[in-house]
Structure 1
């Protein structure tokens, strides 16, 4: 992963003459391995602005059907799990407005 990113940084600097390259990655609390990757990216010249993930529960769905034999109504709750979000887009927009 770091080699791909290193090549990508070189491409952006050489081909597109980018002066600053920003990364807005998401990270979980306590993820030391990903934190080390961010440190290496910073050493390669990128501006890394990690954001912590927030998790929230998606609303469960209710499915209703009737039994084909006895026509009894059957209702079942379907758990829709969790979503992860880190609001990197919000920070990027605010920075653009400030410049």
Structure 2
């Protein structure tokens, strides 16, 4: 039971780290990325499903000839390091 409470508490604390209120400059970064594409392709957010089942933005792929393809490659690497996590690519602009 103690382990379960620890895991739940850890998940809640991690979920709050990715919130707009938790990181200085987070909202400004999102607005900048939404307004200005880097290169010809839409930039891609890498999102990870957290322990609460919510999607958190954890990375940004930009400046490649195929940002979506590079995002999928990055996710493949992340899955090798932690195959239990779920990731996805989402257009950033």
More helix by share: 2
Tell me: higher relative CO, structure 1 or 2? Use CA pairs within 8 A at least 6 residues apart.
2
Question: Which interval holds the TM-score relative to the shorter structure?
Answer: under 0.3
More strand by share: 1
TM-score, length-scaled by structure 2: 0.23
Greater Rg, structure 1 or structure 2? 1
